[in-house]
C-alpha cells in the first residue's frame, strides 16, 4: 500500500515534489539559498546599509521640522517626554504656527518623538544665546546623526521581520522567508520612511508589530508568563509608534488560526489579554488629542476631497487603491506630496476605478478562500488589505490623497505574497540547474534595479530645497508641491551672489506660486509668500493685493502684522525721500500706501498730514492729523 502524504502544520500535503501548498523540506530550500539565519540577517544588514548610507549627511526635510527641529518638546530633551506622552505629536509646532491641531483625528505617536528627545539630550539642548546661523549649523549636524540612527533602526527592523517570517510564517521555508525580507529591505517605495527622519514612527511600528507576533507565538509555544508580558509590552509600544498596531487585534488571532491550527474561537480568546494595553493606549490618546479648530475641515490642505462630490470622493479613493498596488510593482516616479489635485478627482465612468474594484474584490475573495484553507497567501493578503484600510480614506479621513510612507505596513503583506509566488514559480522548473541560477539571477537583477532607484531617490531627500525642486516635476499639479518649490526658489534667491540670479530665482518662485494659486485660489499660504517674493524683489505694490486677500480671509495669520509693518515702513521711507526732494505729490501717494499697509502707525499719518498741508489740502490735512492724534492717544492709554 502506498504511503499517505504527510501534512505540514499548514494543513497542506508535503510530497516529494518541490512545493505543494505552503512548505517544502529544508533540504530543498538549501538548494536555492543559504538558510542560516545569521547569514541571511548579515546580507539584509549589508544591503540596508548600502542602500541608505548616502542619507547620513542629509539635513532636515519635509515634516522633520514639525516632529524634531521646531518641536519644543523634543528640543527640551528628556525633560520634554512628559509633554510628548500627553500631547498631540505636532501640537507644539502647530500651536506656534497655526494655533492648534489641524488634522482630523489628531496624531498620537509619542514613541518616535521620545527617541528624538533622547537623541537631543545626548547631543545637547540648544543654548539660550544661540544665533540663527548657529542653530542652522547645529541642527544640520544633529540631523546627520539622526539619519544614521534611522538607517540602523531600519536594518534592525528588517532583521526582526526576517526572524518573524522564518519562525511563524515560513518555519520550514527559510529561503522564502529570506526572499520576503529581502524584497521588503530593498523596495524603493520605502525611501520616504528611511530618508525622512520624521517617518521613524513607521519603522518602529513594523519593528514592534513583528516583535509582538514573535513573543505572542513564543507564549503559545512555551506558556511562560514572561513571553506574554513581553508580547503585551511590544504591542503597547507598537501602538505608541503608530495607529496601525490596532490591526494586530485582527492579525494575531488570524495568525493563530493559520499557523497554529487554533479554532476561530480559541484564537480570539488567546488575544483577549491584548485588549489591556489597547485600552490604556486609547485612554492616553483620547486625553492627548484635541479637537480641530472650527473651519479647519474646510481647508483643502487638511481635506483633499473638500471639492469632490460624494461620488467623486468614493471613486477617487477606490482608484487610489490601484495606484498603491501599481507603486508596489513599479515604484516610479516617487513623490513626497500627494495633495489636492496631484491626483485629479474621478468618477465611475473611469475604467481604472472599475479595474480597482475588480482587483480588490478579487483579493478580498482570495483572502477568505485561502484563509479558510489555512494557506499562507491568505495571511499575506490579509496583512496587505487590513493595513490598507487604515490609509484608504474610505473609513477614516487621513488628510491626504495618498502617501508612499502610508503603504509601508501593507508592503509587508505584498512582499510575503511576492516571495511565495516567485519561489513557487521557480520550483515548478524541474531542472535545478536552471531553477537555481534563474532565481538567483532574477534577485540580483531586482536588487540592482532597486538599489539604483533607492540610492538615486535618497538624494532628493537631502533637504527641503532638493526635495521640493525634484517633486514639483513629479507631481506638477499638486498645490503643495508648487508652493514648496516656490519656497525653495525664494531661499535660492536670498543666497544668490548677484542681482541677476536673485531676480531669476524670485521670478521662478512667483511662477510656482502662480501655479499653486491657479489650482486653488484660496491657498492663503501661497498668497502670503508670493507677496513676500514681490516685496523682496523690490515690487512692494504687487505684494499688497496678495496680503490684502490673506487679511480678508485669514485675519488671524500671525505673519501678517509683521509683513504689513515692514511694508508700512518701506512706504514711510519712500514718502520721506520724495518729500525731502520736493516731490510732494509722490510723497502723498507713498504715505497713503503706508497708511493702507500699516493703518495703526501714527507717524505715517502725521507725515501724510504734513504732505497734504504742503499741497494746501486743509480737509485732508485735518483728517490725517486727527487720525494720527487718535492713534497716539490710544498708544499712550495702552
Which pLDDT band holds residue 105 (cuts at 50, 70, 90)? low
On whether both 90 and 141 belong to a single domain, the answer is yes
Is residue 401 domain-shared with residue 335, that is, in the same domain?
A: yes
For residues 561 and 312, what is the distance between their CA atoms, to the nearest angstrom?
40
Query: Any idea which of 32-46, 60-74, 286-300, 369-383 has the lowest mean pLDDT?
Result: 286-300
Q: How far is CA 72 from CA 135, 143, 242, 293, in A?
A: 14, 16, 21, 21
How far apart CA 216 and CA 218 sit, in angstroms, is 5
Q: Please identify which residue in the block is written with the cell numbers 494557506.
A: 375
| pLDDT of 128 above 70 | yes
For residue 11, the model assigns a pLDDT of: 35
Whether residues 350 and 415 share a domain: the answer is yes
Claim to verify: residue 193 and residue 307 sit in the same structural domain: no
In percent, how much of the chain has pLDDT > 90?
Answer: 66
> What's the mean pLDDT in 304-312?
91
- Average pLDDT score over residue span 379-401: 91
Angle at the Cα of 631 from the Cα atoms of 625 and 632, rounded to 5 degrees: 90
| pLDDT above 80: residue 321 | yes
Is 7 inside any structural domain?
no
Residue 19, domain member (yes or no): no
- CA 603 to chain CA centroid, nearest Å: 48
Residue 305 and residue 246 share a domain: no
The region of weakest confidence among 238-247, 330-339, 358-367 is 330-339
Give CA–CA dist 75/509, Å, rounded: 32
Instruction: Flag whether 3 is in a domain.
Output: no
Query: At 377, which helix (H) or strand (E)?
Result: helix 376-391
Rounded Cα distance between 528 and 353, Å, is 37
Out of 538, 554, 570, a domain closes at 554
Residue 589's CB is within 10 A of a number of other CB atoms, namely 16
**Residue at 8 is within a domain:** no
| Mean pLDDT to the nearest integer, 219-243 | 95
The answer as to whether 71 is a domain residue is: yes
Last residue of a domain, one of 244, 265, 288: 288
* 169 and 259 in a common domain: yes
Residue 29 belongs to a domain: no
**Structure confidence at residue 25 as a pLDDT band (50, 70, 90):** very low
Per residue in 485-524, pLDDT tens?
999 999 999 899 889 999 999 999 999 999 999 999 989 9
Tell me which range, 404-413, 551-560, 609-618, is most confidently predicted by mean pLDDT.
Answer: 404-413
Q: Quick one: pLDDT at residue 636?
A: 63
Q: Are residues 432 and 323 both part of a single domain?
A: yes
| Structure-block grid coordinates of residue 595 | 497708511
pLDDT tops 60 at residue 15: no
What pLDDT is attached to residue 427?
Answer: 86
Say if CB 483 and CB 464 are below 8 A apart.
no
pLDDT-derived band at 482, boundaries 50, 70, 90:
very high
Q: Could you write out the DSSP letters of every residue in 523-571?
A: -HHHHHHHHHHHHHTT-HHHHHHHHHHHHHH-TT-TTHHHHHHHHHHHH
Mean pLDDT confidence for 317-325: 96
Quick one: three-class SS letters along 445-497? Answer: HHHHHHHHHHHHHHHHCCCHHHHHHHHHHHCCCCHHHHHHHHHHHHHHHHHCC
Q: Are residues 198 and 273 in the same domain?
A: yes
Q: Which of 8-12, 284-288, 498-502, 618-622 has the lowest mean pLDDT?
A: 8-12
Do both 350 and 428 map to the same domain?
A: yes
pTM listed for this prediction: 0.87
CA atoms 391, 195, 462, 80: torsion sign: positive
What's the pLDDT band for 17 if we cut at 50, 70, 90?
very low
291 vs 317, higher pLDDT: 317
Domain CATH number, residue 633: 1.25.40.10
Residue 23 pLDDT > 50, yes or no?
no
Q: What is the pLDDT of residues 515-571, one digit of tens each?
A: 999 999 989 999 999 999 999 988 988 998 999 999 898 888 888 888 888 898 999
- 514, 576: one domain: no
- From the number of C-beta atoms within 10 Å of its C-beta (0-12, 13-18, 19+), residue 615 rates as middle
Mean pLDDT, all residues of the chain: 88
Domain count, the chain: 5
Residue 180 confidence (pLDDT): 97
- Enter the C-alpha cell of residue 580: 525731502
CB 151 within 8 A of CB 13: no
In a shared domain, residues 256 and 184: yes
Please state, in angstroms and as integers, the Cα–Cα distance from residue 258 to each residue in 39, 164, 221, 298, 378, following that order.
28, 15, 15, 45, 9
- Per residue in 177-215, pLDDT (tens digit) is 999 999 999 999 999 999 999 999 999 999 999 999 999
Q: How confident is the model at residue 293 (pLDDT cuts 50, 70, 90)?
A: low
In which domain, by residue range, is 158 found? 34-54+153-288
Residue 13 parent element (H or E): strand 13-14
**Beta strands 13-14; 6-7: pairing state:** antiparallel
Helix (H, G, I), strand (E, B) or coil at 436: helix
350 and 413 inside one domain = yes
Provide the pLDDT confidence category of residue 253 given band limits of 50, 70 and 90. Answer: very high
Q: Is residue 444 part of a domain?
A: no
Among 102, 122, 148, the domain boundary falls at 148
Which residues, other chains included, contact 419 with Cβ-Cβ below 8 Å and sequence gap of 6+? 176, 177, 179, 180, 182, 183
Q: Categorize the per-residue pLDDT at 136 as very low, low, confident or very high, splitting at 50, 70 and 90.
A: confident
pLDDT score of 386: 95
Cell 481635506: give the residue: 303
Residue 267 is predicted with a pLDDT of 92
Buried-state track 472-491, b at ≥16 Cβ within 10 A, e below 16: bebbebbbbbbbbbbbbbbe
Query: Is there a domain that residue 12 lies in?
Result: no
Of residues 555 and 383, the one with the higher pLDDT is 383
| pLDDT confidence bin for 97, thresholds 50/70/90 | low
More confident of the two residues 59 and 13? 59
Amino acid at each position: 500500500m502506498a504511503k499517505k502524504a504527510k501534512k505540514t502544520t499548514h494543513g497542506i500535503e508535503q510530497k516529494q515534489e518541490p512545493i505543494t501548498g505552503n512548505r517544502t523540506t529544508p533540504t530543498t530550500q538549501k538548494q536555492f539559498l543559504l538558510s542560516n539565519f545569521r547569514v541571511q540577517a548579515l546580507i539584509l544588514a549589508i544591503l540596508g546599509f548600502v542602500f541608505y548610507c548616502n542619507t547620513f549627511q542629509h539635513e532636515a526635510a519635509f515634516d522633520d521640522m514639525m516632529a524634531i527641529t521646531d518641536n519644543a518638546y523634543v528640543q527640551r530633551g528628556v525633560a520634554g517626554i512628559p509633554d510628548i506622552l500627553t500631547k498631540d505629536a505636532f501640537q507644539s509646532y502647530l500651536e506656534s504656527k497655526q494655533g492648534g491641531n489641524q488634522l482630523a483625528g489628531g496624531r498620537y505617536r509619542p514613541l518616535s518623538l521620545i527617541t528624538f528627545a533622547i537623541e537631543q539630550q545626548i547631543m545637547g539642548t540648544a543654548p539660550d544665546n544661540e544665533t540663527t546661523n548657529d542653530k542652522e549649523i547645529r541642527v544640520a549636524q544633529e540631523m546627520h546623526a539622526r539619519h544614521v540612527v534611522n538607517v540602523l533602526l531600519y536594518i534592525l527592523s528588517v532583521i526582526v521581520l526576517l526572524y518573524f517570517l522564518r519562525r511563524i510564517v515560513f518555519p520550514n521555508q527559510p529561503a522564502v522567508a529570506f526572499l520576503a525580507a529581502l524584497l521588503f529591505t530593498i523596495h524603493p517605495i520605502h525611501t520616504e520612511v528611511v530618508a525622512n527622519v520624521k517617518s521613524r514612527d513607521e519603522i518602529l511600528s513594523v519593528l514592534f508589530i513583528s516583535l509582538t507576533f514573535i513573543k505572542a507565538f513564543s507564549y503559545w509555544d512555551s506558556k511562560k508568563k514572561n513571553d506574554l508580558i513581553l508580547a503585551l509590552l511590544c504591542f503597547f509600544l507598537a501602538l505608541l509608534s503608530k495607529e496601525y498596531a490596532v490591526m494586530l487585534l485582527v492579525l494575531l488571532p488570524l495568525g493563530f488560526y493559520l499557523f497554529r491550527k487554533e479554532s476561530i474561537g480559541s484564537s480570539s480568546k488567546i488575544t483577549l489579554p491584548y485588549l489591556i494595553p489597547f485600552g490604556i493606549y486609547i485612554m492616553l490618546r483620547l486625553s492627548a488629542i484635541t479637537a480641530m479648530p472650527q473651519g479647519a475641515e474646510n481647508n483643502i490642505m487638511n481635506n483633499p476631497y473638500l471639492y469632490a462630490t460624494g461620488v467623486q470622493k468614493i471613486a477617487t479613493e477606490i482608484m487610489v487603491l490601484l495606484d498603491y498596488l501599481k507603486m508596489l510593482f513599479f515604484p516610479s516616479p516617487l513623490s513626497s506630496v500627494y495633495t489636492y489635485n496631484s491626483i485629479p478627482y474621478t468618477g465611475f465612468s473611469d475604467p481604472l476605478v472599475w479595474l480597482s474594484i475588480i482587483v480588490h474584490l478579487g483579493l478580498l475573495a482570495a483572502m477568505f478562500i485561502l484563509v479558510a484553507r489555512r494557506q499562507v497567501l491568505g495571511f499575506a493578503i490579509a496583512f496587505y488589505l487590513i493595513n490598507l484600510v487604515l490609509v484608504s480614506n474610505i473609513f477614516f479621513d487621513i488628510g491626504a490623497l495618498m502617501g508612499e510612507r502610508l503603504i509601508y505596513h501593507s508592503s509587508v503583506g505584498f512582499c510575503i505574497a511576492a516571495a511565495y509566488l516567485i519561489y513557487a514559480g521557480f520550483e515548478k522548473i524541474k531542472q535545478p540547474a536552471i531553477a537555481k541560477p534563474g532565481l538567483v539571477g532574477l534577485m540580483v537583477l531586482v536588487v540592482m534595479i532597486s538599489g539604483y532607484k533607492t540610492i538615486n531617490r535618497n538624494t532628493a531627500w537631502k533637504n527641503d530645497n532638493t526635495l521640493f525642486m525634484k517633486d514639483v516635476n513629479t507631481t506638477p499639479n499638486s498645490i503643495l508641491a508648487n508652493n514648496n518649490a516656490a519656497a525653495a526658489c525664494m531661499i535660492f534667491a536670498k543666497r544668490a551672489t548677484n542681482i541677476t540670479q536673485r531676480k531669476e530665482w524670485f521670478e521662478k518662485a512667483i511662477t510656482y506660486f502662480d501655479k499653486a494659486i491657479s489650482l486653488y485660489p484660496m491657498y492663503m499660504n501661497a498668497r502670503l509668500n508670493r507677496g513676500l517674493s514681490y516685496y523682496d524683489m523690490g515690487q512692494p505694490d504687487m505684494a499688497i493685493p496678495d496680503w490684502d486677500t490673506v487679511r480678508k480671509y485669514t485675519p488671524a495669520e500671525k505673519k501678517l502684522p509683521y509683513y504689513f509693518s515692514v511694508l508700512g515702513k518701506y512706504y514711510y521711507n519712500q514718502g520721506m525721500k520724495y518729500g525731502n526732494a520736493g516731490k510732494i505729490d509722490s510723497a502723498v501717494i507713498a504715505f497713503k500706501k503706508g497708511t493702507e499697509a500699516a493703518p495703526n502707525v501714527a507717524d505715517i499719518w502725521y507725515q501724510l498730514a504734513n504732505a497734504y498741508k504742503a499741497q494746501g489740502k486743509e480737509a485732508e490735512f485735518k483728517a490725517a492729523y486727527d487720525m494720527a492724534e487718535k492713534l497716539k492717544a490710544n498708544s499712550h492709554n495702552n
